[in-house]
């Protein structure tokens, strides 16, 4: 196959579209016909409009303010449902959760430090394993001790949450 030679003239000829030439409108008065000469009017073709359909990303981007607004309304409605006026116990739960976050971060940092010490990680594993075995034997093995555990948890929940 031989490569095709393309020239600027060949490229421009392939892009040229036919142009319509129209005559000017004749004047309404007969006196004006003698004064003015008719000149041809050249009208250029309208540029082609793209036929590419908008992509889903564009549709999503156009609907983003509506989606964000709906999401925000839903969040505020849920917040009012749980923490609205007259629901002070829920506010205490929210404050407890917010206070627990820095506490957990501090405990994690402390445990990470202790884990770097040479002997303590093995000791912690043995203590945890021993406590797990004792807890299963004490509270989970028999039905009456499971009932005792659930009663203890229910009593604690009543003390904390009122």
pLDDT score recorded for residue 92: 78
Distance of CA 61 to the CA centre of its chain: 11
pLDDT score recorded for residue 63: 56
pLDDT score recorded for residue 97: 87
pLDDT tens, the chain, 162 aa long: 555 555 655 555 556 555 555 555 555 655 555 555 555 555 555 655 555 555 555 545 555 667 788 888 888 888 777 766 666 666 777 788 889 999 999 999 998 998 888 888 889 899 999 999 999 999 999 999 999 999 999 999 999 987
User: CA-to-CA distance for 162 and 157, rounded, in angstroms?
Assistant: 8
pTM: 0.32
């Amino acid at each position: 196959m031989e490569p095709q030679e393309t020239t600027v003239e060949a490229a421009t000829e392939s892009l040229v579209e036919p142009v319509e030439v129209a005559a000017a409108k004749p004047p309404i008065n007969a006196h004006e016909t003698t004064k003015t000469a008719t000149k041809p009017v050249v009208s250029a073709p309208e540029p082609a409009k793209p036929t590419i359909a908008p992509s889903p990303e564009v549709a999503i981007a156009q609907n983003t303010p509506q989606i964000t607004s709906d999401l925000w309304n839903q969040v505020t409605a849920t917040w009012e449902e749980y923490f609205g006026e007259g629901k002070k116990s829920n506010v205490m739960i929210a404050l407890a959760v917010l206070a627990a976050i820095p506490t957990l971060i501090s405990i994690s940092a402390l445990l990470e430090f202790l884990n770097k010490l040479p002997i303590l990680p093995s000791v912690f594993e043995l203590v945890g394993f021993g406590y797990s075995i004792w807890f299963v034997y004490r509270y989970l093995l028999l039905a009456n001790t499971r009932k005792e555990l659930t009663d203890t948890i229910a009593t604690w929940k009543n003390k904390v949450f009122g």
